[in-house]
Amino acid sequence: MTSHRIILISGVISVVLGFLAGFLGGRFAAPPAREKPVAAVIQAERFQLTDSNGRARGQFEVDSQGVARLVLSGQDGAPLARLSATLQGSTSLQMGDEESQRGVIVNTEPEGLQTIALYSEGKSRLALEVQKNGDPAINLNDKGKRLITLGLTIQGDPHLTFYGENQKAALEVIGKKNGDRSLTLAGKDGIPRVVLGLKMDQKAALGLFDRQGKTRAALMDEPSLLLLKNGKVLQTLP
């Protein structure tokens, strides 16, 4: 009898101690660690990126004109890449070393003009562009001046143009989908002086013009030769 009583008392004590341990443990245990709140938005007018040695390698800012600009630099601090966007909607990406004056520039305008230019010694040498009307073109330049343009009209007609010293068209070749072909030689002022053409892959013509662009002679299929002055026919030869 006594042994059963001792066992019963021991069991009750174990239950009570277990309850107290759970209660006290719940009250005095360290509270669970709370996660630090993460900011959804960080606002600033300028951010600066530095390397492990504290040297500035990049910056992201909005300047006084409202242009958003990202600049990345090399170890010497010289800018190597620039990305910018204006309030008016223009964007620009410039990649290259200012010291060697070589690089690539990509520009877009809200009106539709898009260009990719390759520079050497600070001057554009090659440019790819899509004009506002949608015409694509490739320009070859010398010392920043355009010398040759290979383009395609919005209708899909190819053209090749060579330019003179004053940036006026000196020679132009055009081929149209309807079969028209033309070769034009122009003076320094860009006024056509000689035009060789083929109409609809059938009729050929050669025109000679004075310095004012007026026709002086025309060689065609029928009649074969026309001589003109001030726009009036002087003589016709079969």
Domain that holds residue 118: 88-94+101-141
pLDDT band of residue 23 (cuts 50, 70, 90) is: very low
In the chain, which ranges are continuous DSSP H helix? 2-28
B/e letters for 193-203, b = 16+ CB within 10 Å, e = fewer, are bebebeeeeee
Whether residue 130 is found in the same domain as residue 172: no
Chain centroid to CA 153: how far? 20
Tens of pLDDT along 48-94? 988 888 888 999 999 989 999 999 998 888 889 999 999 999 999 99
Whether residue 178 is found in the same domain as residue 230: yes
**Domain total of the chain:** 3
Map 172-207 to HEC letters.
EEEECCCCCEEEEEECCCCCEEEEEEEECCCEEEEE
Whether residue 212 is found in the same domain as residue 161: yes
End-to-end Cα distance, the chain: 150
Looking at per-residue pLDDT, the higher value among 115 and 199 belongs to 115
Whether residue 32 lies inside any domain: the answer is no
Tens of pLDDT along 217-232? 888 877 677 666 766 6
Read off the pTM.
0.70
Whether residue 114 is found in the same domain as residue 159: no
Whether residue 174 lies inside any domain: the answer is yes
Whether residue 67 is found in the same domain as residue 112: no
Whether residue 160 is found in the same domain as residue 134: no
- Across the range 143-171, mean pLDDT stands at 91
Whether residue 137 is found in the same domain as residue 159: no
